[in-house]
Amino acid sequence: MLDISRIKAISLDLDDTLWPIWPTIEKAEKVLHDWLVEFAPMAAALFSSPSALREIRDYMAANRPDLKHDLSAVCRESIRLALYRAGENPLLAEKAFEVFFAERQRVTLFEDAESSLQFLAARFPLVTISNGNADVTRVGLGAYFRAAISAREFGVGKPDPRIFHAAAGAVDLTPEDVLHVGDDATLDALGALNAGMQAAWMNRADHLWPHEMEPHVTIANLTELCAFFK
């Protein structure tokens, strides 16, 4: 059970917790493809092949383990490799990635997200913990958060306890004082539990909980979380 009296701060995941990620990625990939059609048509043809893209991503994962926690770098270097293989100018990768990245920040929030963030931020320091490459400032939510901890900058991703500890430290608290909210049962909820935090599992799609250790609370949206503090 959730112990409200212990909570002095809240950390939140971003993708699929505050907005659905795949519609955002699909739009960003479409914008990238359109840009490549104009400026690097041979690479655009390569990017039209799911099997070719999968091979490039697998190659990057196998040959650049240093980029494991940096999705932006993985994406940029995958574009660079595609340009090279297509006989296009690899230097276009920087601009192509920025086109993709700008669109990736144009998210459509879940209906409950912003009003809930406003409610929670008035009561607790809020921190983001993300393995992805969303930028809460560019997304337009930066004013609600005291800190943003990303796997790319920290060098370690969820479910490693260290990234949760870093989030607690960013607001001068111990993990026991923090409630983490996220949609991924393993990366978010179980990761937070193993880090010593309370965990709220955001289960918008009514999935079954897959682990033996249970989260402190399961919620379908942030409105349900806010109700605990009224």
The predicted structure's pLDDT at residue 32: 93
The predicted structure's pLDDT at residue 51: 80
Reading the block at residue 226, the tokens are 């806010």
Q: Find the domain containing 91 and state its range.
A: 22-104
Identify the CATH number of the domain in which residue 29 sits. 1.20.120.1600
The predicted structure's pLDDT at residue 194: 98
Low-confidence ranges of the chain (pLDDT < 50): none
CB-based contacts of 58, cutoff 8 Å, min separation 6: none
Shared domain check, 119 and 91: no
Amino acid at 101: F
Identify the CATH number of the domain in which residue 130 sits. 3.40.50.1000
**Backbone angle region of 53, left / alpha / beta, with phi > 0 → left and psi within -120 to 50 → alpha:** alpha
Question: Cα Rg for the chain, rounded, in angstroms?
Answer: 19
Shared domain check, 122 and 83: no
Shared domain check, 121 and 51: no
Beta partners for 217?
A: 200
Shared domain check, 181 and 91: no
Shared domain check, 89 and 119: no
Sheet of 147-150, strands arranged across: 147-150, 126-130, 9-12, 178-182, 198-202, 217-219
The predicted structure's pLDDT at residue 58: 85
Shared domain check, 185 and 120: yes
CB-based contacts of 29, cutoff 8 Å, min separation 6: 100
Surface-to-core class of residue 49, CB atoms within 10 Å of its CB (0-12 exposed, 13-18 middle, 19+ buried): exposed
Q: Cis peptide leading into 159, omega within 30 of 0? A: yes
Which of 73, 104, 135 terminates a domain? The answer is: 104
Shared domain check, 127 and 85: no
The predicted structure's pLDDT at residue 160: 97
Give the number of domains in the chain.
Answer: 2
Shared domain check, 138 and 44: no
The predicted structure's pLDDT at residue 68: 84
Between CA 179 and CA 216 the distance in angstroms is: 9
Shared domain check, 29 and 12: no
Shared domain check, 202 and 112: yes
Grouping H, G, I as helix, E, B as strand and the rest as coil, residue 10 is: strand
Shared domain check, 112 and 99: no
Reading the block at residue 163, the tokens are 């990234």
DSSP states of 121-160 as a string? Answer: HTTS-EEEEESS---HHHHT-GGG-SEEEEHHHHS--TTS
Which of 72, 89, 104 terminates a domain? The answer is: 104
Shared domain check, 60 and 49: yes
Amino acid at 166: A
Which of 104, 128, 143 terminates a domain? The answer is: 104
